[in-house]
Structure 1
Amino acid sequence: MASVDTEVMTTALHITLITETFPPEINGVANTLGRLCEGLRARGHRVELVRPRQGGDQGVGSDDTLLLCRGWPLPGYPGLQWGQSSMHKLLRRWTRQRPDVLYIATEGPLGLSALRAARRLGISVVSGFHTNFQQYSSQYGLGLLSRMLTHYLRWFHNCSSLTLVPSVSQRLELERRHFERLALLSRGVDSQLFHPGKRLNSLREQWGLRSQDLAIIHVGRLAPEKNLGLLKRSFEHMQTTYPQRRLKLIVVGDGPQRAALEKELPEAIFCGAQRGEALASHYASGDVFLFPSLTETFGNVVLEALASGLGVVAYDQAAAAQHLRHGYNGVLAMPGDETAFCDAAAWLLEEPETLRCVRLNARQHASRQGWAAIVEQFERQLRGACAPELALPDSALLP
């Protein structure tokens, strides 16, 4: 390789990441951003994080790698803050210490002020489409705002040099809505954390399960946009189809719909939000994973369930469309077809060998979906946006 290419590869970037949410908050966006930030820093880049101050930030101050801004409570998401516009603060900071490129992960007032400041200073911007807010609006009784929100999101992302989307289905949907300059940045999974070996018989005993019983598990935020009414229908269909099998529904997560779900599913076990090793053990102690959501841009939990060796039931979109082969390492239903979803879940229980093979194939597939390649691709996309001369050739990132 020529010396100029060596210099390009070793050039560290000053990358600023703007987001409404970040670990230790529990959601797919925070998890993804935490992994990307950690990976970029491990590759020698300077990563500056701009986010709202959250409830657990008492005593935490801003420094060269962190800028905390004021926020408002986010409706429907207790404990999270919606970042306030901070354009003047960002202008002052970035005039003193100019980033090479911004990555704006959320499109609220904080993200908008970062976009405006970047345009004024001539800093390149890459944006990420992480959440289907335009679909969520109808779930929260704001359907009339959906068209306006879509218009705003299209304008916002079309102002950036590149918009990163996590799935092929999401890219096609946004292309139909005239979003421009879209590129795919998928997601990875920590297959050492999420591993079948984390299965705990003691936890299954707490759930009232014997060794031959099956735990039908769901992990995620308990909110209206997650289509959780289908949990009840699909679980009851499995029970009715195979009355000889002893099944238990396990729900991991929290959110505004939890109380209603507990009334609808009195026999289910609600475990609340889990994280880290505890979350990994909850996954691995299950057998079948039900994921009825229709509003995901990706769905990190699908990969986590696959890595944990579960039989995954999902709609054929986002992460499931990318990572599941129907009947091989999971089962799929056409989006919105609830009868097909229920039938797919029941099919997994038809023969013990069927579920065993699907679970083995799930683990094998997920074990190859690490974060390292995702971080490398993200780095290449940021380099390409901030300056053509810093962009890595594709061949430079091949093993």
Structure 2
Amino acid sequence: MRIAIVAESFLPQVNGVANTVRHLVEELTAAGHETLVIAPGPGDTSYHGARVIRLRSVPLPRYASFPVALPHRRVITDVLARFAPDVVHLASPAVLGAAGISVARRLGVPTIAVFQTDLAGFARQYRIRANTAVWAWIRRIHSRADRTLAPSSHTAAQLRAAGVPRVALWGRGVDLDLFRPDRRSDELRRRLAPNGELLIGYVGRLAMEKRVRRLTELAGIPGTRVVVVGDGPERETLRDALPAAAFLGMLRGEELAAAYASLDVFVHTGEHETFCQTVQEAQASGVATVAPAMGGPLDLVADGKSGLLYAPSDRDGLRRAVELLARDHALRSRLATGGVARVAGRTWGHVVDDLVAKHYVAVLPRPTGLAA
């Protein structure tokens, strides 16, 4: 199959959309499919055997490190016409995706639109009053797709309530070769917890929409130390508010896997996660997980079995959950075991195979003229 991916974000950006597209390209290529990526620049023009077409981009207002592609419809039309894809996969369509779906429809190519970014929640966090307009734009784009894929049941319900048709569920995989309990590093723990502290960690983008300032609520829990992995515009604010915390910056590969597995408790603070991949990575790493009872985590965390959920509106909920785990080793162990069991078999290969067999095939034109 020939698959063109129009991605709102791609490497070298590090975020949920870019990482999902990266895994998608790797697995599709490994399975023998021919893949093309159209994405904002700058960046490499090939990845894992797939050609990457880079379009001119501008910085996102208030988030200069995030490039937004200018919708070059002539370029997109030429690229897609030459590639002649069987399916156009729109990864978190917004600006570039809107142009991509228009071109695909004109060319008569089936489309799959993957909803992955809560744009309305993002706008609210930055105090932009555009909820109605954002949802109208989302509905307009996704209503033109042959199928919209939501990453969680909560998000699927949101989309349907907003009037988006043809919504189906497609989750995310996790790299079980990379994220494993045996990545736990005694050397790293000695460095981060010289007095035997329990390590309470967050991994992800340090940005307002992730509600990372809630990490300050964890300061001063006896016998613990906060560990922050990631980078973003909120980094310096957090460093000032959490002087005793360890800030490890952006980590990748085995360094990231070791950081996850060396934690005692993983926490996530974002309330607008359509999926929340870092929860899966922490679970695969054998770490007890705490997440808000909203959005994607509702599908990933069975409260009391594979992690703990707290009500986002409860100002003390996050700290209470962490304090409980800090003093209850047996509970931490039980939740860690439950998390590992939950992600067993959730490989990217399995998830992408499901995408092709269940969703791509469903939007392809049916053969005609066959004998009854």
TM-score category, normalised to shorter length = over 0.9
- Give the Å deviation of 1:235: 4.4
Please show how residues 222-233 of structure 1 align to structure 2 within 5 Å.
Answer: 222-233=206-217
- Give the Å deviation of 1:177: 1.4
- The 8 Å contact of residues 202 and 227 in structure 2, kept in 1 or not, is answered as yes
The residue identity in structure 2 corresponding to 1:338 is R
Match of 1:148 in 2: 133
- The 8 Å contact of residues 71 and 81 in structure 1, kept in 2 or not, is answered as yes
- The 8 Å contact of residues 77 and 255 in structure 1, kept in 2 or not, is answered as no
The 3 A distance-change label for structure 1 pair 23 and 17 is same
SS at match of 1:73: strand
SS at match of 1:376: helix
Structure 1 position 192 matched with structure 2 position 177 = yes
Partner residue of 1:116 out of 99, 102, 123: 102
SS at match of 1:65: strand
- The 8 Å contact of residues 193 and 277 in structure 1, kept in 2 or not, is answered as yes
Match of 2:124 in 1: 138
Whole-angstrom CA distance in 2 between matches of 1:285 and 1:94: 45
Match of 2:41 in 1: 53
Output one character per residue of 1:108-139: Cα deviation in whole Å (capped at 9) or x when no partner.
33222211111211111111111001111121
- Give the Å deviation of 1:368: 2.8
- The 8 Å contact of residues 198 and 264 in structure 2, kept in 1 or not, is answered as yes
SS at match of 2:179: coil
Whole-angstrom CA distance in 2 between matches of 1:266 and 1:82: 34
Q: Identity rate of aligned residues, in percent?
A: 31
Whole-angstrom CA distance in 1 between matches of 2:28 and 2:226: 39
Partner residue of 2:332 out of 344, 347, 355: 355
Output one character per residue of 1:317-364: Cα deviation in whole Å (capped at 9) or x when no partner.
344212222222211123433333332222222322221222222223
Partner residue of 2:199 out of 198, 215, 234: 215
- The 8 Å contact of residues 83 and 110 in structure 1, kept in 2 or not, is answered as yes
- Give the Å deviation of 1:64: 7.6
Question: How many correspondences in the alignment?
Answer: 366
Structure 1 position 292 matched with structure 2 position 269 = yes
Whole-angstrom CA distance in 2 between matches of 1:90 and 1:301: 33
- Give the Å deviation of 1:154: 0.8
Structure 1 position 371 matched with structure 2 position 348 = yes
Whole-angstrom CA distance in 1 between matches of 2:281 and 2:203: 10
Whole-angstrom CA distance in 1 between matches of 2:278 and 2:142: 26
Whole-angstrom CA distance in 1 between matches of 2:22 and 2:46: 19
The 3 A distance-change label for structure 1 pair 26 and 156 is same
Partner residue of 2:76 out of 90, 94, 107: 90
Q: Which moved more, 1:255-264 or 1:354-363?
A: 354-363
- Give the Å deviation of 1:300: 0.4
- The 8 Å contact of residues 174 and 346 in structure 2, kept in 1 or not, is answered as yes
Structure 1 position 75 matched with structure 2 position 61 = yes
- Give the Å deviation of 1:231: 1.3
Output one character per residue of 1:348-398: Cα deviation in whole Å (capped at 9) or x when no partner.
2232222122222222322332222211121020121122349xxxxxxxx
Partner residue of 1:18 out of 1, 6, 10: 6
SS at match of 1:202: helix
Structure 1 position 278 matched with structure 2 position 255 = yes
Structure 1 position 337 matched with structure 2 position 314 = yes
The residue identity in structure 2 corresponding to 1:219 is V
- The 8 Å contact of residues 19 and 104 in structure 1, kept in 2 or not, is answered as yes
Give the TM-score normalised by the residue count of structure 1: 0.87
- Give the Å deviation of 1:294: 0.2
Whole-angstrom CA distance in 1 between matches of 2:263 and 2:19: 22
Give the TM-score normalised by the residue count of structure 2: 0.92
The 3 A distance-change label for structure 1 pair 64 and 301 is closer
The residue identity in structure 1 corresponding to 2:272 is T
Structure 1 position 33 matched with structure 2 position 21 = yes
Whole-angstrom CA distance in 2 between matches of 1:351 and 1:195: 22
Which structure 1 segments of 5+ residues have no match?
Answer: 1-12, 391-399
- The 8 Å contact of residues 7 and 97 in structure 2, kept in 1 or not, is answered as yes
The residue identity in structure 2 corresponding to 1:161 is D
SS at match of 2:116: coil
Whole-angstrom CA distance in 2 between matches of 1:61 and 1:102: 18
Which structure 2 segments of 5+ residues have no match?
Answer: none
Whole-angstrom CA distance in 1 between matches of 2:72 and 2:83: 16
Q: Which moved more, 1:161-170 or 1:72-81?
A: 72-81
- Give the Å deviation of 1:95: 2.8
Q: Which moved more, 1:198-207 or 1:220-229?
A: 198-207
Partner residue of 1:304 out of 270, 275, 281: 281
Output one character per residue of 1:50-84: Cα deviation in whole Å (capped at 9) or x when no partner.
11222x44xx4899832221111223444432111
Structure 1 position 266 matched with structure 2 position 243 = yes
SS at match of 1:80: strand
Q: Could you say what the CA RMSD is over the residues aligned between the two structures, in angstroms?
A: 2.0
Whole-angstrom CA distance in 2 between matches of 1:80 and 1:133: 14
Match of 1:6 in 2: none
- Give the Å deviation of 1:229: 2.4
